[in-house]
Amino acid sequence: MKYTRISINTATPAEARSRVMIIYTGGTFGMTYDESGVLIPFDFSLIKEQLPALRNLFLEITVVSFTKPIDSSNISPEHWKAIGEIIFENYQAQDGFVVLHGTDTMAFTASAISFMLPNLAKPVIFTGAQLPISQPRSDARENLITSLEIASAKQDGRPLVPEVCIYFDYQLLRGNRAKKVESMHFDAFESGNYPVLAKAGVKIDYNLAAISTPSTGTLRLLSTFDSSVAILKLFPGISPQMVDAVLNTEGVKAVIVETYGSGNAPTAPWFVHSLKAAVGRGLILLNVSQCPGGMVEQGRYETSKTLADIGVISGGDITLEAAVTKLMLLLAEFGSEETRARIGVSLAGEMA
């Protein structure tokens, strides 16, 4: 994958207080209108003119842009690998990272990156915008300025937020706990099962108790993904043919079963038989709730106890986005048996 790279010192002539890398992948954030009214990628060499407030941050900024910006609807594991490699290769030289990404799949990518970088001890802040930066009412300016401030923030010489996060609409969320919930308003993301890490007002109020403890290990990069994952979303009236079609899809190694409430599912004999047969064939079945908040508690009701009895694994309070990316990475790195053992264990704060 090809990139362009530029350096911008917003502190000149003073000394920069921190070094932050911006990784621009595409999305609404970096679009602007040309003279004919067509949306084109923003020229980041002009960012100080577009955002004069950057000069007050006193940062040495390096911008790495995908040569061909990607609409987030087209994001794939190949792009996750590229982002992870950029962070890994520049990790020692930077104090933090800001990833500009389209909002539609941002929670998937943030989740993937959180699993790809074991022992991460520096901020990786994902952000974007609902309106292009060239628009007068765009949320892009505040989102970028505050993301850069968070990515460069330190306490006693150490990064204040040493984890993968999403910053949007004045709130900082753990990346693998976030979901996109809004397409027409600026508050696009929420984290139903984990506290907000920070709120930006007159000052940035950090919830230090909820932020990850910095790792003391050496950063590693896991960059392979196995896309042999499917999703079976339950609904009243779902047919045996549809369930069997998903469970018997050629090549599928793991299926996320999106259940009701706290992990409940039909107890119809045909349904139980289909799931039990799939487990018997070695398929990994992960129970994830359709609810944006709360968690799977297999056995709390009779309708979920049956799932536990036949070998369905509880996903606890994991999001669908984190479940998908975690399964893909574990399957590729460790194989099915090891994935079965690891999927229910928190790797990067994605589940309780």
The tally of CA atoms less than 13 A away on the side-chain side of residue 180 is 23
The tally of CA atoms less than 13 A away on the side-chain side of residue 264 is 10
| Number of helices and strands in the chain (H, E) | 8, 19
The torsion defined by the Cα of 45, 51, 52 and 54, in degrees rounded to 10, comes to -80
Residues 272/302, Cβ–Cβ less than 8 Å: no
Q: Which residues contact 192 (CB under 8 A, 6 or more apart)?
A: 179, 291, 292, 293, 294
Is the sign of the CA dihedral 101, 22, 221, 287 positive or negative? negative
Q: Which residues are marked as active site?
A: 28
